[in-house]
Amino acid sequence: MMRTRITLLVLASILYLAYCSQTFDVYRMLQYDRGNSQLGCRRTTLNGPVSHLTSVPAGKIKSNNTSIAYGGESLSFSRSTVIIKLADLLTHNDKSKINSIQTLVSRDDVTGIIIVVPDRESLAKENNEALLKSFSALERSLFLSETPIEKPVYFVFNNAQVEKLCDQIISEKGGDFLPDSHHIIIDASEASPINNILLTNFEATLRGKVQPAPAIAIVAHYDTLSIVPDLTRGLDTNGSGAVALLELARLFQLLYSSASSRGSYDLMFVLTSGGRLNYEGARHWIQKLPHATLDKLSFVLCLESLGSSELTMHVAEKYAEDDVISLLREFTQSAQHHNTKLEFSLKRVDVTSKEIAWEHEVMSRKNIRSATLSRFKKPVSPQISRSSALDVHVDVNILKNNIKMIAEAIANIIYKKESSYTLFKEGLTPSERFIESWLTSFGHFSRSIHEKNQLLITSLKNVLDRLTNQVNVQEFEPRSTTNSIKLYGNTKVKATVYKVKPIWFDLLLWLPIVGYLVLLHVAIVGVSQFKKNLSSLFSK
Amino acid sequence: MTFLHFVTCAVLTYAPTWVIYKSSEVSEGGYPNIVYGVIAYALTLFAKLLLMATFLPPETTTTVASSDSTLHLRINLVQEFVKTVIAGLDILGVYMIINKAVGRNVVKIVGIGLGWSLGENLLSRLIPLWMGARGLEFEWKHIQMALLSNINILLYISFASLVYLYSRKIADSLTRTLRIQMAFLISIPFIIECIKHLFGVYDSWTILFIHLVLVVLGAFISYGMHVKYSK
């Protein structure tokens, strides 16, 4: 007891020098291989000074190196890490903003980039459409770029701590005598590839009145990936589709639970994985589907990004037949009912293309009638860039309306128009609470492919199990093809920022110290003795 | 850069001791006094730690009380007072060696004072300095610690002179004033703690300055008494 106290006291006397440096989480830009080409951000470690980059209005570029003008000749970072706010990065130079990260990276005097992004709350609250739009353009350009980034690029959420740090770094540029400067250390090992990605599909079925019954499948991929894996929420891409699927399952489960209102179709609800890996999950599901089920599958509807009141139904060109058109007419009518703008887009399925444009094309290739409902008018290519790292907001009311529209259209198909409208008018409407709670939980954790989220898998399985009692869980590894994507780890690491003084601060400190020591000597021995001592120092 | 900063702080901490040693008569055969001072400081420190571990509650209990600020203040000041009483052991420590010291009065007093502060610098400052000043983060506290050690040299020399006078047992009236004076020097940390809490002065530079003023004041009084009575 006593001994421990003494040890504690001694320890306390030593440890009172706890550092007051700042540590926070930073999220690394995606590092990946496509086939044999190495892409994305290839570096992890940082150790060096930090500068802050702010926007300078055009024409106000000063020539001294304390003010930093972006892209101008006067820019000088003296081999430091650049910390920059996203808005500044995107508005710096309108002509070259798409390449601004690449422009910064290509500079010799920049050792790394830290981009401060607005936090999720302010992104969801404020109207940031212009920012989000230019950021996704930047993301796409990064994915399209064939040159790897050989410097570390990190993202960090803006919070009080980061804001204060930025202010401190800015103020160090002031005319202070002997200003503090800042030094950042990110001590992460070289990222290694993630080898055993395990994907999970969920297939839930509601049985029709008379067996065997024709089947309608609703398919949505629920996982996602973006340029910053650990920031990815993909609330619209494709959280909205997954939530819509769950809500549709809940609505039709209510209808199918009583024998009188049970439809003549089997309904299948399929949550697929690998939505950014060329729809690996959809491909696996259709491949593993028994022949009997495959034969009675009359229509597959894929849902992707439903957070808009302007939707497009993408159909493969070869299915522009009468029975498909009559099927799709139900959607047109239902859309009119709900004030949703619905367009149709016919596209030939390009079998030779390495990248699948839409999830329904996986089915189309197997000659199954299928369509994808999406807010995107055209497929976003490359597919991997479809989710933005800042996609964190979906309008619940729009999504609810879209779900209702889909539900009515499907009900029309199932019940052949008999009573569906009345059915859905009599209080059978999508539940805002259900939709909102799922969107909230999707906003809380990452559904990124790069790491398996057991909580997500369990909760998806549980909800489908509760709704349909018939859940089939498929676990599988993605095929490795010549063009397949390999992801790397170290997506979230710790950064520490230290306040440091320049080296000549200490050298300058020596002047008063030596002066003080000499004065001390003189004070003790007297001036005359000091002179004698001094001369004897040189006479030797 | 950071190692340079450590060197700077170390020089500021240790060089004045050496300069005073070399400049004064202590360098003419007074070095045993320094050794005595260091050893006595080490033994006294051990005894003080032992007592503190016995009488003071572990750190954790004080943080619990921090919810109530007045209670926290009271406990804090009580603790500081106990620490000050325990620090009274310093008198005993210096008293034990002041008569074993060699040389003239001045050599004894300055030698013991230097040894004592060297002991403090070695045992209580070297490790924090080594661990802290080499860190990447720049903090003024290492420079401040070095400056404090300089102030303390003066404090310990005047302290040694008081104990020396006390050990000579010149007159009863003198003994009483000596006791008050010694109590003042010992309670300087306590006084500073009180000023901190009562007036809300927390700026480290201000506190260092108050420390300097108090020590210089104590040193003047001690010097006056020394001049008056040591003959």
Give the model confidence (pLDDT) of B163-217 as tens digits. Answer: 988 888 777 778 888 888 989 999 998 999 888 888 888 888 999 999 999 999 9
**Neighbouring C-alpha atoms within 13 Å toward the C-beta of A365:** 18
For chain A, give every domain's residue range.
18-193+490-500, 199-476, 503-532
pLDDT score, position A58: 39
User: Which residues of chain A have a pLDDT value below 70?
Assistant: 1-20, 54-78, 92-100, 172-179, 319-320, 417-427, 540
pLDDT score, position A143: 87
Closest by CA to A326, choosing from A304, A350, A299, is: A299
pLDDT score, position A66: 34
pLDDT score, position A59: 38
The mean pLDDT value of chain B amounts to 85
B222: distance to nearest CA of chain A, Å?
A: 18
Q: Which residues of A touch B138 (CB under 8 A)?
A: 180, 498-501, 505
Contact at CB, B135 and A20, closer than 8 angstroms: no
Q: Which residue did the predictor score with more confidence, B133 or A302?
A: A302
pLDDT tens per residue across span A460-484: 999 999 988 889 999 998 887 777 8
pLDDT tens per residue across span A291-336: 988 988 989 999 999 989 999 999 887 766 777 788 888 888 888 8
How many structural domains does chain B have? 1
Contact at CB, B137 and A13, closer than 8 angstroms: no
Contact at CB, B138 and A6, closer than 8 angstroms: no
- Sign of the Cα pseudo-torsion (B142, B145, B147, B150, in order): negative
A516: closest chain B residue by CA: B16
Asked if residue A48 lies in contact with residue A79, where contact means CB atoms within 8 angstroms, the answer is yes
Question: What CATH class has A199-476?
Answer: alpha beta
Encode burial over A89-114: b for 16+ CB neighbours within 10 A, e otherwise. Answer: bbbbbeeebbbbbebbbeeeebbbbb
Closest by CA to B192, choosing from B175, B220, B223, B217, is: B217
Query: Testing the interface with B: which of A1, A4, A5 to mutate, by most B Cβ within 10 A?
Result: A5
Nearest to A509 among B8, B50, B131 (CB): B8
Touching check for B63 and chain A: CB below 8 Å? no
The alpha carbon of A418 is separated from its chain's Cα centroid by a whole number of angstroms, namely: 44
A4: closest chain B residue by CA: B53
Touching check for A1 and chain B: CB below 8 Å? no
pLDDT score, position A179: 66
Q: Which residues of A touch B1 (CB under 8 A)?
A: 500-503, 506
ipTM (interface predicted TM): 0.85
Closest by CA to A371, choosing from A221, A224, A217, A236, is: A217
B10: closest chain A residue by CA: A513
Print the domain residue range for B88. 2-229
Query: Testing the interface with B: which of A506, A507, A510 to mutate, by most B Cβ within 10 A?
Result: A506
Rg of chain A's alpha carbons, rounded to an integer?
31
Query: Testing the interface with B: which of A513, A519, A527, A532 to mutate, by most B Cβ within 10 A?
Result: A513
Contact at CB, B12 and A513, closer than 8 angstroms: yes
Asked if residue A235 lies in contact with residue A439, where contact means CB atoms within 8 angstroms, the answer is yes
Cis peptide before A212 (omega within 30 of 0): yes
For residue B149, pLDDT beyond 90: yes
Touching check for B28 and chain A: CB below 8 Å? no
pLDDT tens per residue across span B70-90: 666 677 778 888 888 888 898
